[in-house]
Structure 1
Amino acid sequence: MQTLSAQTDTISPQHLRLNTGFLQPGVKQYLVYFQAPAHSNWLGLSLWTREIEKSSWQQEPVFRITQHWYSEDSTRYLESYSINRAADFSPLYHAETRGKEQKAYRWSAREITGDTTANNKAAGFKLAFDSPSYNWNLDMETFEMLPLKAGKTFVIHFYDAGLEPPKYVTYKVTGSEVLQLNGRQTVDCWKLFTEGDSPRGHYTQTFWISKDGHEFLKEEDFFGGFYRYKIKLSGAAPHLPERFSR
């Protein structure tokens, strides 16, 4: 990896660890929407719920994180379930279900392998790691646990289960901004920025994390000619999974 400045922190389970004391249990819901500047009368809307619980797994304290991604198209619904070590947020297990297809993985510092769960489409998957990584599917939670401050740069070792090998991704604190929430409440936030290239071209991402509560409040991305926004909803929003199960 290239030589980094003194202001850069390498974030991984074997380098500088995340501060898991910042991660608060509970339900967090986000309005996620796409905007295509070339189509002035269209928005793509969805809602994500992310529930964080403190629990135990194989006699070890863990975080259990359950996600539901809803939209007007039921075929795009996704449910994921992740288990991470409470001490340092190291991934231990990750599963995703979309439609009738499930992929489930056992995760360690050395490798990731398909789980023995019945009908697991990833049962034969195996990938060895050179070093431990964090679950990229939980980037929003990861950012809440960073030691954010002015001028900082973070290089995070991320991996997206079942895809290409892990890589280091650079995120920079580019400044701060005061967001106005419901009821004219204002919150001072750090702005975290990253950019890179993908098969769809160059992309940029900006994240707003509150300075006091370490809450992930907003995200704005641009890629492939589209903007994508994620906005955290207030606690007044109903918890949808509970109502679907009735």
Structure 2
Amino acid sequence: MKVCSLLAGIAICLASSPAVAQQDTVKISSDMINTKVLKNGTHRYLVYFKLGKDSSRINYQLWSRTIDHLDYQGRKAISVTQEWEDNTKIVHKVYSVCDEKTFAPLYQKSEWTGRLNSTFNFLTKEGYVNDTLLTSADTARTKKQAYDGFQKAMNEYVLNWHLDLEVFPILPYKQGRTFLVNFYDPGFSSPAFQAYTVSGSATLTGYDNQEIECWLLTHTSRNNTETFWISKKTREVLKLEQVFGGRFRYKIKLGFSM
């Protein structure tokens, strides 16, 4: 009897052990997301790099991201307007429109100072790079890549990787769950599933010693680890710490929205 009790106890322990727990991996589809957590207003992030964990901060940027709900081409939609600025100028502007319910991309116009500009219209199925229409006849590497990626994205449920800070809030969080997100950044590579895992919980301290309970969302690739702090209450992305090749990048949400 003692042996049987001992074996039963071991079985119970093994069944509850994280090492043998059933893997919770979900491929994100349009019916899994909750866009109601996205609130109108301008939200700002301080972005900077560090060459080592204890080194000084460099390459500061301020990112402004304005969310709005609107009617777009006869359908309910959500727009996100981004401006990235350094200490002297605006380096990047992008206007994105997504379906209000599914958050699938409908339109994006992107401008980089001194670099590539592009427009992608998912309703008319037209993509432009530097005001030139992309076609199947394009042979230049960047244009062919942009065209092929756009064609594939129009035939799949994708989420805009350029809106990751708006995508993460709408996912169905659960401890230990891994999301497979079919991310697509218009104008770049074809859509691809990226794995993000709810790796734990943590607390951030805000103004007036406010304790903010967060989910930790982790994404890893070769020589790269990204950890996002997501408010459990509001679903806002409050912080990113990215480690790559011994260097660090941070995104810190400022303590107020406008």
Normalised TM-score (structure 2): 0.79
Matched, 1:99 2:124: no
Counterpart AA for 2:95: Y
Q: CA offsets per residue over residues 88-136 of structure 1, 9 Å max, x none?
A: 101001111112552111126xx96414x9x525655533225221110
| Structure 1 unaligned spans of 5+ | 240-246
1:137–1:112 distance in 2 versus 1, CA, 3 Å: farther
Counterpart AA for 1:8: T
What is the 5 A alignment of 1:164-203? 164-197=189-222, 202-203=223-224
Q: RMSD across aligned C-alpha pairs, in angstroms?
A: 2.3
| 8 Å Cα contact 2:82-2:95 kept in structure 1 | yes
Larger helix share, 1 or 2:
2
Q: Percent identity?
A: 34
| 8 Å Cα contact 1:35-1:43 kept in structure 2 | yes
C-alpha distance in structure 1 between counterparts of 2:186 and 2:161, whole Å: 8
- 2:131 aligned to which of 120, 126, 138: 120
Q: CA offsets per residue over residues 192-217 of structure 1, 9 Å max, x none?
A: 001013xxxx2110001111111111
Q: SS in structure 1 opposite 2:167? A: helix
| 8 Å Cα contact 2:50-2:56 kept in structure 1 | no
C-alpha distance in structure 2 between counterparts of 1:210 and 1:38, whole Å: 24
CA deviation after TM superposition for structure 1 residue 71, in Å: 0.6
Matched, 1:86 2:100: yes
Matched, 1:62 2:62: no
1:149–1:63 distance in 2 versus 1, CA, 3 Å: same
C-alpha distance in structure 2 between counterparts of 1:92 and 1:126, whole Å: 16
Normalised TM-score (structure 1): 0.82
1:113–1:235 distance in 2 versus 1, CA, 3 Å: same
CA deviation after TM superposition for structure 1 residue 87, in Å: 1.2
Q: Give the paired residue count.
A: 222
CA deviation after TM superposition for structure 1 residue 41, in Å: 4.3
CA deviation after TM superposition for structure 1 residue 147, in Å: 1.1
Counterpart AA for 2:118: K
Q: SS in structure 1 opposite 2:70? A: strand
C-alpha distance in structure 2 between counterparts of 1:175 and 1:160, whole Å: 27
